[in-house]
Amino acid sequence: MAGHSKWAGIKHKKAATDAKRGKLFSKLAKLITVASRDGGGDTSQNPHLKLVVDKAKAANMPNDNIDRAIKKGTGELGPVSFFELVYEGYGPSQIALVIDILTDNKNRTASELRKLFDKKGGTLGSPGSVSWNFETRGVIELSADSIGEEELVDLAIEAGAEDVKMEDEHLQVLCSPASFSAVQQAIAAADLTPTYAEVTRLPKETVTLDDEKKAAKVLDFIAEVEDHDDVQRVSSNLDLPPELFDKLNS
């Protein structure tokens, strides 16, 4: 669990400075299409679709793009074929990675990721070789000065959360993926704005890197994997000391 807030911070800064809105919208559109394909196009009846649409709106994705992605998923714009895959392996410094993929061509994606790992000195592993060290959880973080910890505990637990803890000047709410939407709605109803909210994979055990060059190499590798068109999420067991995090994230 250590380092999650810091890693979220790195990802937030990257998203804000990369100016790759078009690529982000394309990835979100895939998620919306698959969610509506699997559970229908009504967000009130499809919690997974609502979660993804909320994420798209938070990223300022145009409503027309969202509506078009939903219609693709429901078949109104013709058939659609996407495959959800999970790759796992090790990057530089033997940092474990789990990569969530959404692609229309499995062979192309596998070939491109394999080349990327080979070029950067990483290794792709077999199913289960890395994922055993990760668990899927809903994570919602709020600024510690936005609400008292006891008040948040009462609010979140009543909505279905499992735990609330302090993490690096943030209050962190943990819940099951099934409870994520309800907990998020309860927090929004209290006029609170999370600094981070996502269903993600959290490492059970982390690896701390305190060497700046090694840490920078790992972050560059993860960023390159994340930049692939078919990659939806990269989870790692990387942890950074606060001072190194601040330096690399400045």
Is 64 among the domain residues? Answer: no
Stated as kind and residue range, the H or E segment containing 102 is strand 96-103
Q: Is residue 67 part of a domain?
A: no
pLDDT of residue 241: 86
What is the distance between the alpha carbons of residues 2 and 116, in angstroms, rounded to a whole number? 28
Average pLDDT over residues 194-203: 88
Bridge partners, 88 (sequence order):
98
In a domain, 170, yes or no: yes
Confirm whether 249 is domain-assigned.
Answer: no
Residue 41 lies in a domain: no
CA–centroid distance for 158 within its chain: 25
HSE-CB at 64 with a 13 A cutoff on CA atoms is: 0
Q: What does the pLDDT look like over 206-244, one tens digit per residue?
A: 999 999 999 999 999 999 999 999 999 999 999 988 888
CATH code of the domain covering residue 166:
3.30.70.980
For residue 57, being part of any structural domain is answered with no
pLDDT at 25 exceeding the cut of 70: yes
Whether the full predicted model's pTM is greater than 0.85, yes or no, is: no
Cα end-to-end distance, the chain, whole Å: 23
In a domain, 169, yes or no: yes
What residues make up the domain containing 174? 134-203
User: Each residue of 128-183: pLDDT tens digit?
Assistant: 999 999 999 999 999 988 898 999 999 999 999 999 998 877 899 999 999 998 99
Tens of pLDDT along 176-189? Answer: 999 998 998 899 88
Residue 12 has pLDDT above 80, yes or no: no
**What's the chain's Rg over C-alpha atoms?**
18
Work out how many domains the chain is built from and give that number: 1
* Mean pLDDT, rounded, for 90-112: 94
pLDDT digits (tens, 9 = 90+) for 40-97: 999 888 878 888 898 899 889 999 999 999 999 999 988 888 899 999 999 999 999 9
